[in-house]
Structure 1
């Protein structure tokens, strides 16, 4: 089976990768970063750009996709440094909420476990900002490991 680890480059997602690598049995692992083209983000943002950001004509990739691929590679490096050996990466274009992309890829991979970090928000901040980890937990049809922020985190 495959372990899917959601990685966005934050300290919390780094803690999740490190925790999973140190505490789970070595299995094939996919480090996944969700990205969305800026032009799509502008569609729902109140501001509009004068000129849309389109894919680079030489390699047909959006800059956001390239950055997501690099970010996923960074997560894979953390996983390998912590002891995982069978690690691949995936930069997934989101077409909606990030949590939905994570759940969909986990289903596609038939992942045995989804691992995600938690920003540790509570109360009103959690309601206003939402929680990817909470939504993954409630919508996934498979086990989910939510790794809390490190104890020394002042949140």
Structure 2
């Protein structure tokens, strides 16, 4: 497994992975990054991208947050006093973190789905230390991709006012084109 500052690319074999920063230059073609979190919206994004894009190379990106950070955030949102989490290595290692294990499982699922849809693909995990959209944009920049593909929950009403949309933030901050696949796209063709 190749470690990066806030991201990691794992290989499904024991062979070392190609450097993530190689991007499109190493493959000789255009490369996309598909954000995958295991949701129906992210599955639809892969299927829609495969159907309409001429790109045959994709990174499947799964963003994850360590379990101790999730607990601290939840405690803070509930008004409880937060534990002072330090980065001194006292927390369990990445491989022992259940959130990391779940992210690897989700990413592998996304890679398999992309391969079933004829993408030449690589998994890419990113540990989120801020916002999910920021991790996606940073990964796209690091990997030098030509396009970001993401599903969306399409929040409306009060939820859209109270919660910022990951897809809206990606569009605003990405340094490359972005394809947002709304919920329900492609579901009619599956029935």
Matched with 1:31 is 60
Matched with 1:55 is 92
Normalising by structure 2, report the TM-score.
0.70
Report 1:91-130 matches (<5 A): 91-130=125-164
User: How far is the alpha carbon of 1:149 from its aligned partner?
Assistant: 0.8
Q: Are the counterparts in 2 of residues 55 and 63 from structure 1 also a CA contact under 8 Å?
A: no
Seen in structure 2, the aligned counterparts of structure 1 residues 75 and 60 have a Cα distance that, compared at 3 Å, is: closer
User: How far is the alpha carbon of 1:48 from its aligned partner?
Assistant: 7.2
Cα RMSD after superposing both structures: 2.4
- Secondary structure of residue in 1 paired with 2:60: strand
Q: Are the counterparts in 2 of residues 22 and 83 from structure 1 also a CA contact under 8 Å?
A: no
Q: Are the counterparts in 1 of residues 56 and 118 from structure 2 also a CA contact under 8 Å?
A: no
Seen in structure 2, the aligned counterparts of structure 1 residues 132 and 103 have a Cα distance that, compared at 3 Å, is: same
Q: Which moved further from structure 2: 90-99 or 123-132? A: 123-132
User: How far is the alpha carbon of 1:54 from its aligned partner?
Assistant: 4.1
User: How far is the alpha carbon of 1:76 from its aligned partner?
Assistant: 1.1
Normalising by structure 1, report the TM-score.
0.86
Paired residues, number: 149
Extract structure 1 runs of 4+ deviating beyond 6 A. none
- Secondary structure of residue in 1 paired with 2:41: helix
| 1:10 is the counterpart of 2:47 | no
- Secondary structure of residue in 2 paired with 1:14: helix
CA deviation vs aligned residue, 1:113-133 (integer Å, no higher than 9, x gap): 000001021121112232111
Matched with 1:78 is 113
User: How far is the alpha carbon of 1:11 from its aligned partner?
Assistant: 0.6
Larger Rg: 2
Q: Which moved further from structure 2: 74-83 or 138-147? A: 74-83
- Secondary structure of residue in 1 paired with 2:175: coil
- Secondary structure of residue in 2 paired with 1:45: helix
CA deviation vs aligned residue, 1:14-50 (integer Å, no higher than 9, x gap): 1001111121113321001100111012222225799
Unaligned runs of 5+ in 1: none
